[in-house]
Amino acid sequence: MNLRFTGNKALILGGSSAMGLALAELLLAEGLTVTLTHSSPKGLAAIAQRCPDLAQASPSLDLADLTSLDRLEPCLNCGVDYLVDLAQADHEGLLAAASEEGVRTYFESHVTNRLLLLKAVTRGMLYRGFGRLLHVSSAAAALPAPGQGFYAAAKRAAESCYLGLGLELGERGITSLSLRLGVVDAGRGGRFLDRQGLRKALAGKTLTVEQVASTLLFLLSDQSLAFTCTTLTMDAGLTARKYV
């Protein structure tokens, strides 16, 4: 299949992740322009190692720091046709034991500041009459484990924001989609699988970075624009049945 892309410029939040880097390579191969964000020197080094041509223009983005959104201004001024949202801080802990400051900071970062970022991105999309918003969510949004309450709640809130933007802006050429992923053999998912017995026990129920990146590429393409204002699940059947 020859994928078609109406737009040309993609912004990947959390672009220094394994999924972000793999998707960037696929987008570049399709002839698109790509900007990757990073949140740490380690992330910037990962971009420099795998996509050296993108490192110099990679903006630092920390959702906890509202002023860091200003660093996206040069990219936004050039126009963003595709936004891929992979940004999410690792945070696990019991809701009942959380501090007030911890609760406030986490949700302000991952809900309030995310929405402010989306408003800035979609402003330019509205001007050009085209935009694709793709949020990478998690199966934990539907089936969280104990200790994932913060993460699951933030993912569901983000899904709602993306849904609302798609509903409000669809008639002006902006589409939105959330993709819930199961266990991906990278980053947090890879560490989860490395726990005793889980990699073997979940064999056949995990996703590879290549599978996810290829799926994201397809979902960004013109062939997938009818997937909008909805949430899809890609988890290799992990949540289709009860498991111990």
CATH number of the domain at 224, please: 3.40.50.720
Q: Which residue has 């798609």 as its token pair? A: 166
Number of domains in the chain: 1
Is residue 237 assigned to a domain?
no
131 in any annotated domain: yes
The answer to whether residue 124 sits within a structural domain is yes
Tell me, yes or no, whether 83 lies in a domain.
yes
Amino acid at 129: G
168-177 per-position pLDDT tens digit: 999 999 999 9
Range of the domain at 36: 9-231
Query: Max Cα separation, the chain?
Result: 52
pLDDT at 102: 83
Six token digits for residue 66? 């509202």
- For 83-101, the pLDDT digits (tens) are 999 997 766 777 778 888 8
**From edge to edge, which strands make up the β-sheet containing 230-234?**
33-36, 9-13, 82-85, 131-138, 174-181, 230-234
| Residue 228 contacts residue 162 (beta carbons within 8 Å) | no
Query: CA triplet 191, 197, 198: central angle to 5 degrees?
Result: 50
Query: Is residue 240 in a domain?
Result: no
Q: Is the pTM of this model over 0.85?
A: yes
What is the rounded CA–CA span in Å between residue 175 and residue 220? Answer: 10
Q: What is the DSSP letter of 60?
A: B
| Strand partners of residue 35 | 11
